[in-house]
Amino acid sequence: MKLVFASNNKNKIIEIQQMLPESITILSLEDIGCKEEIEETADTIEGNAILKANYVTEKYGYDCFADDTGLEVDALDGEPGVYSARYAGEQKDSNDNMDKLLFNLEKHSNRKAQFKTVIALNLNKEQHLFTGIAKGNIIKEKIGTQGFGYDPIFVAENDTRTFAQLSIDEKAIISHRGIAVKKLITFLSKI
C-alpha cells in the first residue's frame, strides 16, 4: 500500500517510515509534485492535521495522512501548542523556539508538559483521527543531539533522558508520534 504523508519534513518522514511495516510505503509531498507550503491556519492541532490531509486528497486525489504536533506546557496555559513550530517567529527555528520557551519558564517551578500528535487519515473517502500524547517535563537546558524540535528539553515521564538522547527506536516506543503512528498501523492492518 502506498500512502501520501502530507509533509516535506524529512526527519518526520524517516521517523514514521521506520515505524511502518514494509507493506506500507510513504510518498512525500515532493514525491507527488506538491511544491506549495500547505498553510496551517487552524486553531487546533486536530484542525491542522485535517486541513493538510484534506488539501492533498482534494487537490491531488491521493489517500493520505497528515499529522500536526504541539508541545503544551501547563505553566504557560498550553503554550506553545498549535504554534509550536513558529513559537519564536515564522523562521521556524528550533533553537529560537526552545530559547523562548526556556525564557518564558524561568519564573515557573511547574515544568510539566505534554507533546500531542494528531494524525488525520483520509482513506477510501473516509477520515479517521489518531492521537498520541507523551507526558513529561521541560528541563532547564538543552541536552542531546538526536531528534528535532523541542526534543533536547523534553524528558518523558518515567525516564531521565531527553527525547534528543534517545535513539529513533527508543523514541518511537514512548513518543507522542510513535503512539499515534501505532494506532494508525493497527487500523491499517485491519483493512
- Of 31, 63, 68, 96, the catalytic one is 68
Domain assignment of residue 18, given as a range: 2-189
Helix segments in 20-146, DSSP class H: 45-60, 94-105
Whether 31 sits among the annotated catalytic residues: the reply is no
Tens of pLDDT, residue by residue over 107-123, are: 999 999 999 999 999 99
What confidence category does residue 153 fall into, taking pLDDT thresholds of 50, 70 and 90?
A: very high
SS3 90: coil
Percent of the chain exceeding pLDDT 70 equals 100
pTM of the model: 0.91
Q: Tell me the three cell numbers of residue 10.
A: 524529512
Q: Is the pLDDT of residue 189 over 90?
A: no
Domain count, the chain: 1
Q: Which residues have C-beta within 8 Å of that of residue 47, sequence separation ≥ 6?
A: 68, 82
DSSP state string for 107-141:
T-S--EEEEEEEEEEEETTEEEEEEEEEEEEE-SS
Q: Is the pLDDT of residue 180 over 80?
A: yes
Question: What pLDDT, on a 0 to 100 scale, did the predictor assign at position 22?
Answer: 85
Q: What is the CATH number of the domain that holds 84?
A: 3.90.950.10
